[in-house]
Amino acid sequence: MGIRRYAILGAFALASVSLPAFSASAEDVTISVWSLDRDIQPAPNLIKDFNKLNTGIKVEYRQIQFDDVVSEAMRAYSTGQAPDIIAVDNPEHALFSSRGAFLDLTDMIAKSSVVKTENYFPGPLASVTWEGKYYGIPKATNTIALYYNKDMFKAKGLDPEKPPQTWNELLEAARKLTDPAANVYGLAFSAKANEEGTFQFLPWAQMAGGGYDKINSEGAVKALDIWKRILDEKLASPDTLTRGQWDSTGTFNSGNAAMAISGPWELDRMIQEAKFDWGVTLLPVPEVGAERSSAMGDFNWAIFASSEHPEEAFKVLEYFVSQDDRMFKDFGQLPARSDIAIPPTGEPKKDAALKVFVEQLKYAKPRGPHPEWPKISKAIQDAIQAALTGQMSSKEALDQAAEKIKAVLG
């Protein structure tokens, strides 16, 4: 997600967006940007386009690796080697913001004619917020929903135009769709002992009135009990405990699972691999009328507090924001903004699915925000594994997680 600075002097136009421009000087100001984006992804391409504008700001790009983002960024900041701008995974944002490593952009955003907080989905915006201040700008976003095999629904006497809307309906559908003789499970999801497991479980807890700070609520315990029942009744593969989202969705694509909980990043693969009719619906809720929720992924832009050129860095972020309408069209990523329509792709299934994911984003919530999110997530992961493997009851496991999380929250 991004962070941006207020700039002055003149205006230039690109892609129908007008942005303030710096006067060219004898020597360009150099702004450094770090992110994970490869050559087919947004950052290097947007930077290339920005540099062509000759604004008096030159942007240099460095691609970093996912596993190195936090450690390398913190090391760089502590030694005075940090870049001006970085893209971080949204659950990691609060770690930097709370330690003063990221610049408070609140005033610059308030003055900006480009960055408008009201244009963002609530979840992505919350992930860049710390103690009521904005320390970043959402870069892109994603979420999860329920994929389902319409052909299997028809074959089992289920209405393919009425996918499950509640937890009970999901269980009943999974039971009817599970077919051991055909090697078909009713549902595929990930309960892996890493961030993916938390990513998939937390929305269930939230929909039932829980959350990371009340992970042992009655509703959260019920949610984990349902996951346990799904595995005990063999409605999902035992590999659910060890398989990530990519592999679990692969079983759906291959026809070995009738439903799957996953995200929009799967759409192109599904179009290519799935040899059946399929659809997407919102995540089922505990009961009709219950609060909706969903997971929220992807990255945020931020400016390091150590930047010697914060106004120029913010100017770069304003340019990135001005190009958000290209996020899906050019790079296949969902913009974190509710004011940008997703253009039709010409593929009916994909277009219908994207409408569901955009609707789901209205309810997506960040993980945290909290500077100790990895510890909180680990406690939730351990509880999921303990309950699903029968080492503890769901309540015992989540009570233990709540104690660990309480110690972290203080």
Q: What whole-number distance in Å separates Cα of residue 197 and Cα of residue 63? A: 27
Strand ranges for 251-370 from DSSP E? 259-262, 278-281, 299-303
pLDDT band at 101 (very low <50, low <70, confident <90, very high): very high
What domains are defined for the chain? 2-142+297-358 (3.40.190.10), 145-295+372-409 (3.40.190.10)
Residue 342 phi/psi, 5-degree rounding, is -85, 120
Q: What is the mean pLDDT of residues 10-30?
A: 49
Instruction: Let me know: does 136 contact 302? Beta carbons within 8 Å.
Output: yes
Burial 25-47 (b: 16+ CB within 10 A, else e): eeebbebbbbbbbeeebbbbbbb
Q: What whole-number distance in Å separates Cα of residue 176 and Cα of residue 185? A: 10
Q: What whole-number distance in Å separates Cα of residue 288 and Cα of residue 379? A: 30
pLDDT value at 6 more than 80: no
Q: pLDDT by residue (tens digit) across 338-379? A: 999 999 999 999 999 999 999 999 999 999 999 999 999 999
The per-residue pLDDT for 13 is 31
pLDDT value at 111 more than 70: yes
Mean pLDDT for the chain? Answer: 93
pLDDT value at 65 more than 50: yes
Q: pLDDT by residue (tens digit) across 241-273? A: 999 999 999 999 999 999 999 999 999 999 999
pLDDT value at 3 more than 60: no
Q: What is the mean pLDDT of residues 18-44?
A: 79
Lowest-pLDDT range of 15-19, 45-49, 110-114, 230-234:
15-19
Lowest-pLDDT range of 18-27, 34-43, 200-209, 280-289:
18-27
251 Ramachandran zone, left/alpha/beta (phi>0; psi -120 to 50)? alpha
The per-residue pLDDT for 8 is 24
Structural tokens at position 383: 């509880």
Structural tokens at position 302: 């931020």
Q: What whole-number distance in Å separates Cα of residue 256 and Cα of residue 342? A: 31
Instruction: Let me know: does 376 contact 370? Beta carbons within 8 Å.
Output: yes
- Stronger pLDDT, 11 or 281, i.e. the higher one: 281
Lowest-pLDDT range of 3-12, 93-102, 131-140, 195-204:
3-12
The per-residue pLDDT for 10 is 30
pLDDT value at 15 more than 50: no
Q: What is the mean pLDDT of residues 208-237?
A: 98
Q: What is the mean pLDDT of residues 332-336?
A: 97
Q: What is the mean pLDDT of residues 289-315?
A: 97
